[in-house]
Amino acid sequence: MDYYSEKLQTLIQELSRLPGIGSKTAQRLAFHIVSEPAESAERLASAIADARHSVRYCKRCCTLTDQDLCPICSSPSRDQSTIMVVEHPQDLAAYEKTGKYNGLYHVLHGAISPEMGIGPGDIRLAELMKRLQTEEAVKEVIIATNSSLEGETTAMYISKLIKPAGIKVSRIASGVPVGGDLEYIDEVTLLRALEGRVEL
């Protein structure tokens, strides 16, 4: 039996489809949205629609942006000789919060996982290899994939692809717990992992 009107029930169902949002949280969010002034709900709806319409992949590093190049790739002050490879845009944001890394990034949007049917062609690996062929300034690729089985598999695969090109390949050090997602790890641990990276 439905306790709420059809439109409220639809809103709750849509909110509960979001990652990390259970039915109780979806109900709380729905009640909050309909209790707010109409302008607040309209701003939220407009922001969602605008982001969905405008946000796309950066043409260089594949992170999410609303420009052709993201702010990091378009910054002349970034070190062009180093590229850090991460799985998701949230991982890039986690390293940016440390304020200690000044190179470029490449976002894979996933990791190789034969179990899940995700191969090298399903992540942004071809774009990385194309960059390395065209961006001659690159001297080091830091692989900062998660320390899960998928992350380690991806790191080893990337290393084998890049090494023949004569580019230094390193891996962030431990300190990042096995199975831990980078976006949830504190900045000090991330910084130590970056500084203690080892060559592959």
Considering the domain architecture, whether residues 103 and 122 belong to the same structural domain is answered as yes
Residues in a beta bridge with 168: 140
Same domain? 39 vs 115: no
Average pLDDT score over residue span 20-40: 92
* Residues comprising the chain, all counted: 200
Judge whether 95 lies within some domain. Answer: yes
What is this structure's pTM?
0.77
Q: Specify the pLDDT at position 43.
A: 94
Mean pLDDT of the chain: 87
Shared domain for 26 and 75, answered yes or no, is no
Query: Model confidence over 120-141: pLDDT tens digits?
Result: 999 999 999 999 999 989 999 9
pLDDT score for 151: 87
* 18 confidence band (pLDDT: 50, 70, 90): very high
Residues 45 and 78 in one domain: no
Q: pLDDT grade, residue 147 (50/70/90)?
A: confident
46 with 97, same domain: the answer is: no
Residues 92, 115 within the same domain: yes
The enclosing domain of 22 has a CATH number of 1.10.8.420
Query: What pLDDT digit, counting tens, does each position of 164-192 carry?
Result: 888 999 988 665 555 556 665 666 566 65
- Return all residues near 70 (Cβ < 8 A) that are at least 6 apart: 58, 60, 61, 63, 64
User: For residue 187, what are the domain limits?
Assistant: 64-199
Instruction: Give domain status of residue 102, yes or no.
Output: yes
> Is residue 14 domain-shared with residue 87, that is, in the same domain?
no
List the alpha helices (DSSP H) in the chain.
6-16, 23-35, 38-54, 89-98, 125-134, 149-162, 187-195
Q: Do residues 116 and 37 both lie within one domain?
A: no
How many domains does the chain fold into? 2
Confidence of residue 149 (pLDDT cuts 50, 70, 90): confident
